[in-house]
Amino acid sequence: MVEGNAKGRAITVALAGQPNVGKSTVFNMLTGLSQHVGNWPGKTIEQKTGTYQYNGTTVHVVDLPGTYSLTANSLEERIARDYIIEERPDVVVVIVDATALERNLYLVAELLSLPIAVVLGLNMTDVAEQQGVRIDPHVLGAALGLPVVPMVASKNQGVRELVETLDRVIRGQATFTPNRPEIRLDHRVVLAELQRLVAGQVPDPYPEDWVALKLLEGDEEVTGMMRERLDGTHWEQVHAILKRHEDAILAVAGGRYEWIGRMVRAGVTRPRAGQVTLTDQVDQVATHPLWGLLLLLGILGLVFWLTYAIGAPLQELLDTYLVQAGAGWVRETLASAPAWLVGLLADGVIAGAGTVITFLPILVIFFAALGLLEDVGYMARAAYVMDRFMHLMGLHGKSFLPLFLGFGCNVPAVMGTRIIDSPRARLLTILVAPLVPCTARMAVVAVLAPLFFGRAAALVSWGLVGLSLALLAVVGMLLHELVLGGEHVAFIMELPLYHVPNARTIGLSVWQRMVAFLKKAGSIILAVSVVVWALSALPGGDIESSYLAQIGRLLAPLGALMGLGWQMMVALLTSFVAKENTIATLGILYGAGEEGRGLGQAVAGVLTPAAALAFLAVQVLFIPCVATVAVVRQETGSWRWTSFSVALLLVVSFAVGIAIYQVARLAGWGV
Amino acid sequence: MSMSAMPLSALSPGQVGVVRGLAGGRGLVSRLAALGFVPDAEVTMVQNFGQGPLIVLVRDTRVALGRGEAAKVMIVRRGSSNGRGEC
């Protein structure tokens, strides 16, 4: 415990808990806007920290990832237990869901085998009571030997009591004599033997008895660590024991559940089984293979409707009154300044910042919708309904939602992959997400396809959407097999009880994602926008003689394979900043004005139908806009995977473009 | 009397099984065990359409499982002659 004067001291409290127990609500109630969101060192998993003051103490709160256990089954579990063992927080608060107390106490059983002070926050007691489950916190606390605080975090009940209890614990005024779980009798001898073998060889700060237990559980990380530490003969003996007891995990886990049974016997009264809860009723529809699918499509349709009804007009307002007005103001104010400075500010900086700003309304709506569906408990159902389809690509059911959002905009799609727990499935989803044709790309198709194909435009547009999705499936399957090792993604997912959403939780999650987007992606978008402007304006000031045009001419041989001139290649390059640029660039290069009027005659004369089709396909499949690339970097945390994603899309888009043009040429169609 | 262990995926909705053992790799066993799939635990089938993923109730928690994962949980049907004398 912390020593010394009550004045001006600081302590650290770690918040642990299984997923879906309202842990983030508790964290939000404790810390509010003092939160800092970052990543765990060297990991792509979000780390939230925050502080509060109470009774002269500054309390740093660290939100650990939600985990079912502390075995190294996932990155989250490793992070949580490494933090507890290595950083030794002063207290661990474990939040448990009163409606599934026994399963939740499993994590408590694991925590108690570590030498650390534990306080139990018994959350969702209101829902438990509605179900007829009565838990006496004092009796439960006495059995466990820990302080137990009943809470309804979503209604801000019990949070103050938790703060007071923590204060008493750090002052040594609360009882903490935990009743630690013991292993089943039949494995006690083996565990003692393992303990003897590792004695004196366990690296700091790992407790020896905990290491022996994890060895017996078959924990990969601990096994690897001890294989390195132990000398040959000792390791041989340990290894022999572990081989003989390969299924010891069941005995250890079974032992923990027996212990849990003893802990809850006195303090919990349960109703007779057989009640039909609200969750059961809603799930009759929500998880049904057909009705569930229709419900999902309905909900997604609603999200899109909201986006277009509210988001698009807002986007336009921001563009007109902030971005255009800003650029106009710069041009006016700096009328006497050198042209390059005006261009840099108006077309580079403000255009880049404008891209960032105009994304905000759509992102807010998407993330609010995602946050609401997640908080209500629906997200897991959507994943369940879609799992059978996503499985084919080695993806998880949870990959569906972010991918579907990609039709609106790839940026929230990539950021939305955070709901996928498995890092591999998440990476795969991020890599294929840009193959979902977003509205900006389809808008370009909507302008160009009628110019090229007249009445057949709608057919071409739908064909391009189908082509994108077919490629998404093929690329997904190939990446799954070749790059990510074809590992089967186990589908095990808790379907939490439905509950009333908490506005504060949703609001904070939207706020944090916005801040992350502005800070991380915003700076990349701005930088790229300025660079592309410079390339298009230097050295002469007009695009025809610019560096960008020179790059376009360099790419002409590649373009020739698709029947495209250098102007079309330049149009593709400028689409990197924003997809809509394609049309403006073509307008300038073919001297038709920026509005696209007259572009038809200008372009139709240059492009054969085969080349036009190839161009549209490349433009739909091309590397996504800089905002998407920036969030790919933000979410993967790796330039390597970001480059891989860009390279992949370049190869796919050009390969498809060349294939379309060459096949059409060989068939003698449209040339 | 032979107790007929069967995979969890063979239960029909509403039927209750008692876990006898888990097959499969260590990672899967460890994840399932943490969720409460340990010997003697009761599992109720909630939804099972004979193909695709299914939903079970274990320790007051609804858990969605892939069919492959559910096939690795070996159970004895509650109410059938399993020698436990329950129900």
Domain count along chain B: 1
The reply to whether residue B33 touches residue A249, judged by beta carbons under 8 angstroms, is: yes
Residue of B15, B29, B55, B60 to mutate, interface with A, max A Cβ within 10 Å? B60
Residues in B closer than 8 angstroms to A219, CB to CB, are 30
With a pLDDT cut of 70, the percent of chain B lying above it is 87
Contact in structure between A461 and A445 (CB atoms under 8 Å): yes
Contact residues on chain B for A102, CB-CB shorter than 8 A: 36, 59-60
Homologous superfamily in CATH for domain A9-170 = P-loop containing nucleotide triphosphate hydrolases (3.40.50.300)
Residue of B nearest to A20 (CA): B61
A71 with B32: Cβ contact below 8 A: no
DSSP A449-473: HHHHHGGGHHHHHHHHHHHHHHHHH
For residue B52, give how far its alpha carbon lies from the nearest alpha carbon of chain A (Å).
Answer: 6
- A254–B31: do the CB atoms touch at under 8 Å? no
A69, A102, A490 ranked by CB distance to B69: nearest:
A490
Asked whether residue B86 is domain-assigned, the answer is no
Q: How many CA atoms lie within 13 A of A618 on its CB side?
A: 30
Closest chain B residue by Cα to residue A77: B31
Please give the structure tokens belonging to residue A202: 């366990």
Closest CA to B34 of A81, A205, A45, A375: A81
Give domain limits for chain A: 9-170, 185-269
- Which of A384, A386, A396, A424 to mutate: most B Cβ within 10 Å? A384
Instruction: State which CATH number among 1.10.645.10, 1.10.287.1770, 3.40.470.10, 3.30.56.10 fits the domain covering A185-269.
Output: 1.10.287.1770
Q: Is the pLDDT of residue B82 over 70?
A: no
Between A604 and B38, where is the model more confident? B38
User: What global pTM score does this model have?
Assistant: 0.80
Q: Best interface-test mutation with A: which of B9, B19, B30 has the largest number of A CBs within 10 A? A: B30
Contacts of A494 in chain B (CB under 8 A): 35, 61-64
**Same-fold call for A9-170 versus A185-269:** no
Which residues of B fall within a CB distance of 8 Å from A289? 49, 52
Residue from A250, A263, A269, A497 to probe the interface with B (highest B Cβ count within 10 Å): A250
The answer to whether residue B85 is domain-embedded is no
- Nearest Cα residue in chain B from A260: B36
- Residue in B19, B20, B26 to test binding to A, most A beta-carbons within 10 Å: B26
Closest listed residue to residue A478, CA positions, set A442, A438, A435, A441:
A435
CA distance A606 to A79: 58
The pLDDT, as a whole number, for residue A1 is 41
Do the chains contact at A388 and B64, CB–CB below 8 Å? no
Spell out the residues 6+ positions from residue A455 whose beta carbon is closer than 8 angstroms to its own.
Answer: none
- Residues A169 and A175: their CA atoms lie apart, in Å, by 8
Identify the CA nearest to A469 among candidates A426, A491, A438, A446.
Answer: A438
CB within 8 Å: B61 and A218 = no
SS3 label, residue B42: strand
Nearest to A418 by CA among A387, A374, A378: A374
Q: What ipTM does this complex have?
A: 0.88
- Residue A393 token pair: 């690509």
How close, in Å, is residue A115 to chain B by CA atoms?
21
Q: Which residues on A lie below 8 Å from B28 (Cβ)?
A: 490, 492
Give the pLDDT confidence score for residue A609 in this predicted structure. 86
**Which residue in chain A is spatially nearest to B54 when comparing CA positions?**
A384
Q: Which residues of B touch A (CB under 8 A)?
A: 21-22, 26-36, 38-41, 46-47, 49, 52-53, 55, 58-66, 68-69
Which residue of B lies nearest to A18 if distances are taken between CA atoms? B35
- Tokens 């909900």 found at: A299
Q: Which domain holds residue B41?
A: 6-77
- Predicted local confidence at residue A486, as pLDDT: 66
Whether B42 maps to a domain, the answer reads yes
Let me know: does A567 contact A602? Beta carbons within 8 Å: no
Do A250 and B38 make contact, defined as CB atoms within 8 angstroms?
A: yes
| Residue contact B30–A249, C-beta within 8 A | yes
- Which value, to the nearest 10 degrees, does the dihedral of the CA atoms of residues A636, A641, A644, A646 take? 30
3-state secondary structure A302-333: HHHHHHHHHHHHHHHHHHHHHHHHHHHHHHHH
Mean pLDDT per 10-residue segment, chain A (671 residues)? 57 94 91 82 80 94 93 85 94 95 95 94 92 92 95 93 95 85 88 93 92 93 93 92 90 93 89 73 91 90 81 84 86 84 82 79 84 89 86 79 83 84 85 89 81 83 89 90 73 88 87 82 79 80 79 88 87 82 74 54 76 91 88 89 94 94 84 64
Q: Do B64 and A495 touch (CB under 8 A)?
A: yes
Determine the residue of chain A that is closest to B36 in CA distance: A103
CB contact under 8 A, B66 and A391: yes
pLDDT at A457: 82
Q: Are A492 and B47 in contact (CB < 8 Å)?
A: no
Q: The domain that contains B54 carries what CATH number?
A: 2.30.30.90
Q: How many CA atoms lie within 13 A of A406 on its CB side?
A: 28
Q: Name the closest residue on chain B to residue A496, using Cα atoms.
A: B62
User: CA nearest A59: which of A205, A178, A162?
Assistant: A162
Spatial contact of A50 and A35, defined as CB atoms under 8 Å apart: yes
C-alpha to C-alpha distance for A68 and A496, rounded to whole angstroms: 13
Q: Strand pairing partners for A119?
A: A93
Angle at A557 between CA A554 and CA A560, to 5 degrees: 130
> Residue B3 above 70 pLDDT?
no
Among chain A residues, CA nearest to B40: A254
Residue in A106, A218, A391 nearest the CB of B26: A218
| Interatomic CA distance for residues A221 and A71, integer angstroms | 9
